[in-house]
Copies of this chain bind each other. A is one copy, B any other.
């Protein structure tokens, strides 16, 4: 695989990893870890979300973290937003890269962002209209494969939702999210294959894989084979799974970096620098960590 195009790993630990942790992580700790993640070669980092501070108190300092990002060279901060209102708040706070999240399955979308999927599409349409020039945007399609309430999501349901969304901004980065971790390699191959064929104008495709059932890397590998070039992951595998208490959630950044590194595919990540950050991430009080490479490399060294 020498000579393969580089892949982009989007570090989502500071959002997806932290959000479920109950003791508030001091903003200074978040900034320290963020600097070290960038120092390990990560560029795009989902640094937080603009959401109700009542719903997710851990994310209440996102504006403060975002403001500090200007001082971190090389960092491309991305923030998650669940609707137009919070999207505008993110823009007002200076965000230049928004990730708009909605779910394919009605029950998850209502549970997560308190709207029917069609209402979220309208929110997205209005956000796109008001988006200033030069602001980047991605779509996070939650429950694209499987829903904690409804089980396996039919591929047509995901494609139908994309039929509504894609024309609103045809070149938008599209991230298919395995919210429950129950996607399997065959499913990933079928859905990405169909979506990439149907929406050839999308500039970038991304996969947000969870590792709850151990399939994070297998799913990423299959997607990569199809031409997907952007992968979300969380340092130390921070994240957990709210629907399987005690089980791990996000695929670990160090595991993804290890796989591509062994395959000769460039990620820009320096594992020697990332592993110590991951060890500190795993030690965050209240955090639930996962992944294999951190443990394996720490044991070897």
Residues of A at under 8 Å CB distance from B? 1, 181-187, 211-218, 220-222, 241, 243-248, 252, 255, 258-259, 262-264, 290-293, 295-296, 298-300
Contact = CB atoms under 8 A, between A and B. Distances in A.
A217 to B, nearest CB: 4
Nearest to A256: B214
Contacts of A213: 255, 258-259, 262, 292-293, 296
Total copies of the chain: 2
Contact of A300 (B216, B220, B244, B252): B244
With most chain B CB atoms within 10 A of its CB, the pick from A187, A214, A255 is A214
A30 to B, nearest CB: 26
A117 B246 CA distance: 45
A213 B184 CA distance: 19
Given A292-B214, A293-B213, A186 B263 contact: yes
Nearest to A184: B262
B185 A263 contact: yes
A212 B246 CA distance: 21
A275 to B, nearest CB: 12
A259 B248 CA distance: 17
B182 A262 contact: yes
Given A186-B1, A299-B245, A258 B292 contact: no
Contacts of A245: 299
B244 A296 contact: yes
Contact of A262 (B187, B211, B212, B217): B187
26 contacts: A1-B186, A184-B259, A185-B221, A185-B259, A186-B263, A187-B262, A211-B292, A213-B293, A214-B255, A214-B258, A214-B291, A214-B293, A215-B217, A217-B218, A218-B218, A218-B220, A218-B221, A218-B259, A244-B296, A246-B298, A247-B292, A247-B295, A247-B296, A247-B300, A248-B292, A290-B292
